[in-house]
Amino acid sequence: MKKLIFLFVLGFSVTQLWAQKVIPPDEQYKPKEGLFHHIPLIGDPAPSFTANSTNGIVNFPGDYGRSWKILLSHPADYTPVCTTEIMELASLQDEFDKIGAKLVVVSTDGLDTHLRWKKDMEAISLQDSKSVNIKFPIVEDKNFSISKKYGMIHPATSLTKAVRGVFIIDPDNKVAAVLFYPMNVGRSTDELLRMITALKITAAENVCTPVNWKAGNDLLIPYNPTPSEDLAKTNIKPPEGYYSLAWFLWYKKNN
């Protein structure tokens, strides 16, 4: 009898230990097949779509020709963080126009809600600024087709709301930059303007931008403009408009 009791207790203890097994973080959540969708990466063609919007039917990216395009996703209408972002983007529409960039906003709510949200946003002032006129489209995506094409439905976060993604699309309709933000942190419109400006100048002049670069700052070049790798051991003068901090770190004056 004692032996049977011992075996029962032992078996029960092993079962409980097995039930409490620690599952590695990468195995704790495995989305069901078909829920995960590929995020277009830098250099990939921008997925196309046709959808209703507050500006009528939008064919993206075809409607925007050779412009730069910024596609921003929002999890839902009337969310406070997204409201402040759209109003700030609306106040900067002229700045985006100057650098040849077009804005398109996507939300998984329906068109009727988009129209009410737009009207309500245009009726208020943000931080003592003037009220805004939202000229860019807010696109309907209530069936999640756009969000899925751009990999913006992340099952571990939500099955029904798009994550707060930003896709910058170049004139050839290729993805040039991808950014994702959490629900509780607002996006930087200054960074979007800076990013477009940097992408344009680096593409046009075969240069790079250094840390914290802003429009007008000097640029990096990805090559050595002299035949020598060590200027300290030569009397070679840098070409006009260039300077060096080390043989591998060359700048081009941007003036």
Tell me if 197 sits within 8 A of 216, measured CB to CB. no
DSSP state letter for 171: T
Q: Is the pLDDT of residue 139 over 80?
A: yes
Kindly indicate the confidence band of residue 152, based on its pLDDT and cuts at 50, 70 and 90. Answer: confident
Tell me if 64 sits within 8 A of 71, measured CB to CB. no
Q: Is the pLDDT of residue 72 over 60?
A: yes
Q: Tell me the pLDDT of the chain averaged across its residues.
A: 83
Instruction: Report the phi/psi class of residue 79: left, alpha or beta, with left for phi > 0 and alpha for psi in -120 to 50.
Output: beta
Q: Is the pLDDT of residue 13 over 90?
A: no
- pTM, two decimal places: 0.79
| Most confident by average pLDDT, 57-71, 120-134, 172-186, 232-246 | 57-71
- Give the residue-averaged pLDDT of 183-208: 94
Which tokens hold the place of 167? Answer: 């896709």
Which tokens hold the place of 131? Answer: 């009220």
DSSP state letter for 21: P
In this structure, the chain runs to a length of: 255
Kindly indicate the confidence band of residue 15, based on its pLDDT and cuts at 50, 70 and 90. Answer: very low
Q: Is the pLDDT of residue 242 over 70?
A: yes
Residue 71 dihedral angles phi and psi, to the nearest 5°:
-105, 120
Choice among 82, 153, 196, 219 that is catalytic: 82
For residue 181, list its beta bridge partners: 164
| Architecture of the domain spanning 49-187 | 3-Layer(aba) Sandwich (3.40)
**Chain segment 31-48, per-residue pLDDT in tens:** 444 444 688 999 999 999
Among 41-45, 82-86, 176-180, 228-232, whose mean pLDDT is lowest?
A: 228-232
Give the pLDDT of residue 93.
95
Task: Give the type of residue at 109.
Answer: D
Q: Is the pLDDT of residue 22 over 50?
A: no
Give the pLDDT of residue 230.
54
Q: Is 208 a catalytic residue?
A: no
The span from the CA of 253 to the CA of 241, in Å, is 5
- Give the residue-averaged pLDDT of 139-158: 80
Tell me if 45 sits within 8 A of 173, measured CB to CB. yes
Picking from 162, 146, 252, 143, the residue whose alpha carbon sits closest to that of residue 208 is 252
Kindly indicate the confidence band of residue 183, based on its pLDDT and cuts at 50, 70 and 90. Answer: confident
Give the pLDDT of residue 20.
43
Picking from 226, 225, 213, 217, the residue whose alpha carbon sits closest to that of residue 253 is 217
- Give the residue-averaged pLDDT of 146-160: 72
Give the pLDDT of residue 80.
92
**Helix, strand, or coil here: 181?**
strand
- Half-sphere exposure of residue 112: CA atoms within 13 angstroms, side-chain side: 0
Q: Is the pLDDT of residue 159 over 60?
A: no
DSSP 55-124: TS-EEETGGGTTSEEEEEEESSTT-HHHHHHHHHHHHTHHHHHHTTEEEEEEESS-HHHHHHHHHHHTTS
Where are the extended beta strands (E) located within the chain? 49-51, 58-60, 68-74, 101-107, 138-140, 164-169, 175-181, 219-221, 242-246, 249-252
Kindly indicate the confidence band of residue 28, based on its pLDDT and cuts at 50, 70 and 90. Answer: very low
Among 10-14, 235-239, 247-251, whose mean pLDDT is lowest?
A: 10-14
Percent of the chain clearing pLDDT 70 (strictly above): 76
Domain segments of the chain as ranges: 49-187, 206-255
